[in-house]
């Protein structure tokens, strides 16, 4: 093919295909995507570790006996022992994990203070997720992930020096803010680079992606043409710029909110379930991972099995389970 024919091909690409493509058309499931997923999983492991930490650190003891020389109170938290004197006995709580409750001696009703601490920490995570999302759009994900990693490391170390629940809650809430930003990638996002006018950097990264994925020469030329057009920047307010988008986002957020209440309500009270705390946590994690993988495969392989079907099906199952639990609880009364 001579130079004239090459120019003709590029002209056809410019006129007939350029307006129909976006950056998403060049990012496909391939070696580069798998590499990104592997690195992202390691970063998410740190985030999940901080999130799930309070599953153990906020676990109340199974029972709180008080052992004296001539008597033993089986559980000072039991209603029949609520007015018992504890002066001549030593409290010896029974537990699987030496939690904050044990460390700061927060037993019985005082244990609710620890659950309130968890709520404040989760508020920090939600605030941090919104904040770092906006900062990532402005300064790039790589810079934000580096800052969050350093701060989370320092704050996690500082947590070990807390001497009471207030200090612990304050430090952990601050950690939650930056923990919400632990979503990182190996390289900066090409989309963000294009939006910021850093076309050449985006082109270099995309060329590496396409080369690793074995893309055709035509696709590479099309990508270079598309990147030369630049892109627009948006913020969170753009999600509510029209009625249709606002309704969709609101429904999705409400669904995620109520699902998260159920999910974290179970996780942060897992010590209430009979059996070992560690075994129950292992079973919960295994089921969540397995179900997520199964639904991801079904979503990828079956066209009719889309996100709406999965969302509706999951919410319907949750509603049935919650209704059954409510009926069982009421009948038990």
**pLDDT for res 179:** 74
Low-confidence ranges of the chain (pLDDT < 70): 1-30, 32, 137, 180-236, 333
Pairwise CA distance, residues 95 & 77, whole Å: 14
Alpha-carbon Rg of the chain, whole angstroms?
27
**pLDDT for res 147:** 84
Pairwise CA distance, residues 31 & 186, whole Å: 13
Residue listed under structure tokens 């099906």? 313
Name which of 39, 30, 28, 36 is nearest 212 in CA terms: 30
**pLDDT for res 269:** 87
Do residues 111 and 101 touch, judged by C-beta distance below 8 A?
A: yes
- The token pair at 138 is 């402005």
For the chain, give percent helix, strand, coil, nearest 5.
Answer: 70, 5, 25
pTM summary value: 0.67
Name which of 115, 102, 93, 94 is nearest 270 in CA terms: 115
**pLDDT for res 195:** 60
Pairwise CA distance, residues 97 & 40, whole Å: 29
Do residues 231 and 194 touch, judged by C-beta distance below 8 A?
A: yes
**pLDDT for res 85:** 77
Phi-psi category of 115—alpha, beta or left, where left has phi over 0 and alpha has psi -120 to 50?
A: alpha
**pLDDT for res 304:** 79
DSSP state at residue 15: I
Q: Which residues contact 111 (CB under 8 A, 6 or more apart)?
A: 60, 101
**pLDDT for res 205:** 65
- CA 92, distance to chain mean position in Å, is 36
Do residues 97 and 61 touch, judged by C-beta distance below 8 A?
A: no
DSSP state at residue 68: E
The dihedrals phi and psi of 76, each to the nearest 5 degrees, come to -70, -15
């Amino acid at each position: 093919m001579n130079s004239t024919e090459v120019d003709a091909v590029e002209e056809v690409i410019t006129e007939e295909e350029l307006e129909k493509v976006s950056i998403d058309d060049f990012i496909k499931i391939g070696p580069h995507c798998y590499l990104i997923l592997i690195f992202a999983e390691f970063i998410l492991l740190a985030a999940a570790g901080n999130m799930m930490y309070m599953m153990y650190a906020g676990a109340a003891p199974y029972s709180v006996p008080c052992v004296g020389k001539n008597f033993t109170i089986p559980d000072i938290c039991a209603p029949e022992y609520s007015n018992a004197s504890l002066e001549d006995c030593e409290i010896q709580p029974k537990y699987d994990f030496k939690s904050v409750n044990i460390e700061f001696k927060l037993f019985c009703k005082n244990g609710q203070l620890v659950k309130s601490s968890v709520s404040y920490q989760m508020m920090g995570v939600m605030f941090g997720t919104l904040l770092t999302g906006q900062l990532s759009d402005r300064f790039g994900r790589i810079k934000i992930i580096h800052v969050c990693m350093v701060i989370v490391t320092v704050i996690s170390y500082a947590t070990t020096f807390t001497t009471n629940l207030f200090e612990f809650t304050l430090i952990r809430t601050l950690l939650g803010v930056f923990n919400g930003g632990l979503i990182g990638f190996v390289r900066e996002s090409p989309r963000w680079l294009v939006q910021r006018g850093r076309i050449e950097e985006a082109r270099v990264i995309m060329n590496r992606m396409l080369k690793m994925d074995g893309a055709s020469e035509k696709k590479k030329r099309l990508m270079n043409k598309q990147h030369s057009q630049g892109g627009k920047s948006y913020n969170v307010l753009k999600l509510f710029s029209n009625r249709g988008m606002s309704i969709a986002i609101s429904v999705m957020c409400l669904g995620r909110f109520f699902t998260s209440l159920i999910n974290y309500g179970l996780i942060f009270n897992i010590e209430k379930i009979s059996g070992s705390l560690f075994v129950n946590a292992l079973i919960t994690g295994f089921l969540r991972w397995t179900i997520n993988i199964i639904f991801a495969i079904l979503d990828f392989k079956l066209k009719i099995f889309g996100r709406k079907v999965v969302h509706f099906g999951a919410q319907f199952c949750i509603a049935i389970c919650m209704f059954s639990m409510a009926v069982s609880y009421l009948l038990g009364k």
